[in-house]
Structure 1
């Protein structure tokens, strides 16, 4: 991929850097956050130590994946960022939809295709010098899912072979435009501007699910979407409850 080409194809006005290989684009941008003056997109052709939520590793391949992080500064503290991972999921889904690929969303930070994981989102934050918060939004997107990678994962995962044939610079520019538009809208209106769109793509709407914390079932109920703060709505035998995103895992009940 070519940084100048991506920046020229994009309408976002965001600086772009491409590196052949790194451990983690999120870690790299977090290390640079105190010196950044404007948003920056960092793309790695290969990422050797990619991370998912709760410290999980993210496996990728140069040919079959896109791995990138976007650093974006927000005014205010972490409370102003409630629902941001879900808003980013909406942005990815909307962009992929314009490219002819329909996907679903799983609370709190996964993009699914045909029930299998297609993309993951990891957002990390750091206080900005002079106030505000730098957010580093890391995304891993599968394009091809070879059998050997599925074997490493130990579960099925989704790919998008049609997008793998698309010009990578044009694809990255489209994703950047969708993300930048999302972040500007989120700054102005918060997650309430995205909740209806998220619920329309909710993969497990009406399904009976369990919430696991450290492998222990904490809640069970029928998934009823999310509210305007990004909290999961769960209809239990005791009534409706709301769940904030934390170190929990959501599963369809077997």
Structure 2
């Protein structure tokens, strides 16, 4: 990919850097956040130490995925940034729909295609003078060779149609959608996204378990999210809300 071409195709006005290889684009931007004075998109052709939530690894092969991070500054306190991963999911879904790929969203940070994971979001923050830098890391599968799926150890999704697109234009489309969503999130919070997220909710009405380190904390029917991004769960005792934190979600059949 070419940074100048991505910037040329984009309307976001965000600086773009492309590197052939790095350990983690999130780690790189977290190290640089204190010195940044404007948003920055960092794209890696290949990541050797990509990370997901709760310290999980994100495995990818050169040319078969998109791995990138966007650093964005917020003036709001950290507690007002709750729901940002879900807003990012909506932005990704909008961009992919514009490219002809329909997806759904799984709480709190996964993009699903045909029921399997296509993309994941990892957001890390760093407080500094004048605000908080959020580093939004995204890994998205384009092709999924059998040997890579075997290494991952579960069924995952791919989007071969996207793999045939011009990569610079695809990256610019994703950047524009993310930049617009983050600006809207900064103005209005997750409440501006909750209805859209709920329309894309993959597990609406299904029985799910909320897990913490493999132990089931709660079980009930998934009923979408509220305006803060909390999962709504209809349990035997009534409706409850679940904060994301480090918990994960599974359907009963899983």
TM over 0.5: yes
Aligned to 1:71: 71
Tell me if the contact between 1:210 and 1:219 (Cα under 8 Å) persists in the aligned partners. Answer: yes
- Structure 1 position 241 matched with structure 2 position 210: no
Aligned to 2:106: 106
- Tell me the distance in 2 between the aligned counterparts of 1:5 and 1:218: 47
Equivalent residues in 2 for 1:205-220, closer than 5 Å: 205-220=204-219
Using structure 1 for the length normalisation, give the TM-score.
0.99
Aligned to 2:145: 146
- Tell me the distance in 2 between the aligned counterparts of 1:186 and 1:141: 22
Tell me if the contact between 1:82 and 1:230 (Cα under 8 Å) persists in the aligned partners. Answer: yes
Tell me if the contact between 1:222 and 1:234 (Cα under 8 Å) persists in the aligned partners. Answer: yes
- How many residues align structurally? 253
Tell me if the contact between 1:76 and 1:131 (Cα under 8 Å) persists in the aligned partners. Answer: no
Aligned to 1:226: 225
Aligned to 2:195: 196
Using structure 2 for the length normalisation, give the TM-score.
0.99
SS at match of 1:240: strand
**Gapped runs of 5+ residues in structure 2?**
none
How far does the alpha carbon of each residue in 1:176-200 deviate from its partner, in whole angstroms, 9 at most, with x for none? 0000000000011100000000000
How far residue 76 of structure 1 moved from its aligned partner, in angstroms, is 2.3
SS at match of 1:11: coil
SS at match of 2:210: strand
SS at match of 1:192: helix
Q: How well do the aligned residues superpose, as a CA RMSD in angstroms?
A: 0.5
The runs of 4+ residues in structure 1 deviating greater than 2 Å are none
